[in-house]
Copies of this chain bind each other. A is one copy, B any other.
Amino acid sequence: MTEPSTTDVVVIGAGVSGLTAARRLTQAGRSVVVIEAGDRVGGRAMNLDVADGVITEGGGQWVGPGQDRILSLLDELGLTTFKTHIAGESIYHRRGRSKRYEGLIPPLSPLALADFAQLQLRLERMAKTVPLDAPWTARRASSWDATTFGRWLDANAMTAEANAMFTVGFSVTNAEDPHSTSLLVQLARIRGAGGIDHTLNITGGAQESRVVGGTVRIAERLAEDLGDAVVLNSPVSEIAQDADGVSVRSARADVRADRVIVAMSPADADRIRVPSGLPTRRTMLQRRWSGGAESKLFAVYDRPFWREQGLSGQAVTDLPVTRYVVDNSPPDGSVGILLSFLGTAGAGSGQHWPDTILDDPAARRSAFLGDLTVLFGAQAANPAAYFEKDWTHEPWISGCVGSRAPGSLTQYTDADRRPVGRIHWAGTETATVNQGYFDGAVRAAERAVEEVMDVGLVSVPR
């Protein structure tokens, strides 16, 4: 498609949310143009080619039970899933000693286990008081939004060990240090994801399954069906709305439409000029949404050798760099892949990575492989290949999902998703259920499409 000029709806952003919105609109008989700034579809879903015919997911990679909308979309697209590899014993490494364990619960000290349980109980009790559609109306919303999840943990954990467990789990699943995210935002996410166990677990939880071919296949399949309605390499600079419609100006296409769905993170949406103005709350929210800061590190071996030792490949640790490891091998185990996550913030309160870890790839690789060697032995020291995907240096995506700054959920409330005239908002950040997950991306898309269909589409002066 070159320079389309009119359509019913423009969707900005060809991630899973934007493409799903476009699909649902097309299914409802609407015409649609999807405009994407980057040179590929998928957004925060993308593959890395790690070996001949073998990929690993550079971005979001998991789906799990209860994530009905993404699971249904996978079915619809003919995509299949496989279980995250977890058979065998996992490793719990703390203070220089490794313990093997089976099942979901690492062998914390009895006191730390009890502590973890009381923290979980209290958090879930608090989360129950947070209305999903309006967390800012919770009785204690102001107070919870004015502090961080990390501060709450520090004040309420009786053991450093339970605190560290929450911190590792939270950092990996949220791509943020708990000390920079609002307690209220996290309570709303706990509620929206169906509880803490669900957010942390592989089996029965949000990390249970992966998509054959990688999650980017979702976006690719969606885009295939949309054909030339998807315009790549075309950053949107302006959305002008008037009484009769919207004009979306982008590098490669200017499109006139009835409505526009912006399927970008609020932070990234701040790059688009809206001459008619955005509500103050919306503008401020865009500026107070921070992308999460996380890299994925992958060591690729000629086979998953740890399985031969009865190990699952999963580890929870207090090692300098590698706090969590999981087996990310392809479904057939034809090569072995160990995956870890590295946040920018350091691990836990007041800890900072040395700049070498953040900005020197060789030092980072070496620290990561050193940690893997402690956990899995000398065989881990020399992978066949090493890969990274750093989400802080993407040209058009300012990080992982991230969240609002403390104070801004109570202050700017539903500005993430309240339509502004003819502008509607999608993206997993605007979901109330499974926010931050692919499931949230689909739910947000379907909610935005409902809004657009509800108002009906009027004919656009051509």
Chain A positions near chain B (C-beta within 8 angstroms):
141-143, 145-148, 150-151, 154, 177, 179-181, 267, 277, 279-281, 283-284, 287-288, 290-291, 293, 344-346, 349-350, 352, 355, 358-359, 390, 392-393, 398-399, 405-408, 410-413
In the assembly, what is the distance between CA of A412 and CA of B290, in Å? 14
Interface contact A148-B406, CB-CB below 8 Å: yes
Knowing A288-B290, A290-B287, A349-B142 touch, does A408 contact B180 (C-beta < 8 A)? yes
Which residues of the other chain, B, contact A284 by a CB distance below 8 angstroms? 290, 293, 344-345, 392, 399
Q: Which of B145, B150, B280, B345 contacts A344 (CB 8 A)?
A: B280
List of 5 A-B pairs having minimum Cβ-Cβ separation, nearest first: A180-B407, A142-B350, A146-B179, A146-B151, A280-B358
Interface contact A179-B148, CB-CB below 8 Å: no
Which residues of the other chain, B, contact A410 by a CB distance below 8 angstroms? 179, 349-350, 352
In the assembly, what is the distance between CA of A399 and CA of B284, in Å? 9
How near does chain B come to A352, taking the closest CB pair, in angstroms?
7
Chain B: which residue is nearest A144 at the CB level? B151
How near does chain B come to A269, taking the closest CB pair, in angstroms?
13
Q: How many copies does the complex hold?
A: 2
How near does chain B come to A414, taking the closest CB pair, in angstroms?
11
In the assembly, what is the distance between CA of A411 and CA of B180, in Å? 9
In the assembly, what is the distance between CA of A291 and CA of B405, in Å? 12
Which residues of the other chain, B, contact A406 by a CB distance below 8 angstroms? 148, 179-180, 405-406
How near does chain B come to A241, taking the closest CB pair, in angstroms?
15
Knowing A392-B283, A407-B179 touch, does A147 contact B145 (C-beta < 8 A)? no
In the assembly, what is the distance between CA of A87 and CA of B357, in Å? 58
Knowing A179-B142, A279-B359 touch, does A411 contact B288 (C-beta < 8 A)? no
In the assembly, what is the distance between CA of A216 and CA of B270, in Å? 28
How near does chain B come to A9, taking the closest CB pair, in angstroms?
25
Which residues of the other chain, B, contact A145 by a CB distance below 8 angstroms? 179
29 sample A-B contacts, Cβ–Cβ < 8 Å, listed by A number = A141-B350, A142-B349, A142-B350, A143-B151, A143-B349, A145-B179, A146-B147, A146-B349, A147-B147, A147-B151, A148-B407, A177-B411, A179-B410, A180-B406, A180-B407, A181-B407, A279-B355, A280-B344, A280-B358, A280-B359, A280-B390, A280-B393, A281-B344, A284-B399, A288-B290, A344-B412, A346-B411, A352-B410, A352-B413
Which residues of the other chain, B, contact A291 by a CB distance below 8 angstroms? 287
How near does chain B come to A347, taking the closest CB pair, in angstroms?
11
How near does chain B come to A344, taking the closest CB pair, in angstroms?
5
Which residues of the other chain, B, contact A177 by a CB distance below 8 angstroms? 407, 411
Which residues of the other chain, B, contact A390 by a CB distance below 8 angstroms? 280
Interface contact A148-B150, CB-CB below 8 Å: no
In the assembly, what is the distance between CA of A182 and CA of B355, in Å? 23
13 new A-B contacts, CB < 8 A, other than A281-B358, A406-B406, are A146-B148, A146-B151, A150-B407, A180-B288, A180-B407, A279-B355, A280-B390, A283-B392, A287-B290, A287-B398, A350-B410, A352-B410, A352-B411
In the assembly, what is the distance between CA of A407 and CA of B145, in Å? 14
Which residues of the other chain, B, contact A344 by a CB distance below 8 angstroms? 280-281, 284, 411-412
Q: Specify which of A141, A352, A406 lies most central, judged by the most chain B CB atoms within 10 Å of its CB.
A: A406
Interface contact A279-B358, CB-CB below 8 Å: yes
Knowing A281-B355, A358-B281 touch, does A411 contact B146 (C-beta < 8 A)? no
Interface contact A287-B399, CB-CB below 8 Å: yes
Which residues of the other chain, B, contact A279 by a CB distance below 8 angstroms? 355, 358-359
How near does chain B come to A282, taking the closest CB pair, in angstroms?
10
How near does chain B come to A198, taking the closest CB pair, in angstroms?
25
In the assembly, what is the distance between CA of A220 and CA of B399, in Å? 39
Q: Specify which of A180, A352, A410 lies most central, judged by the most chain B CB atoms within 10 Å of its CB.
A: A180
Chain B: which residue is nearest A395 at the CB level? B273
How near does chain B come to A365, taking the closest CB pair, in angstroms?
15
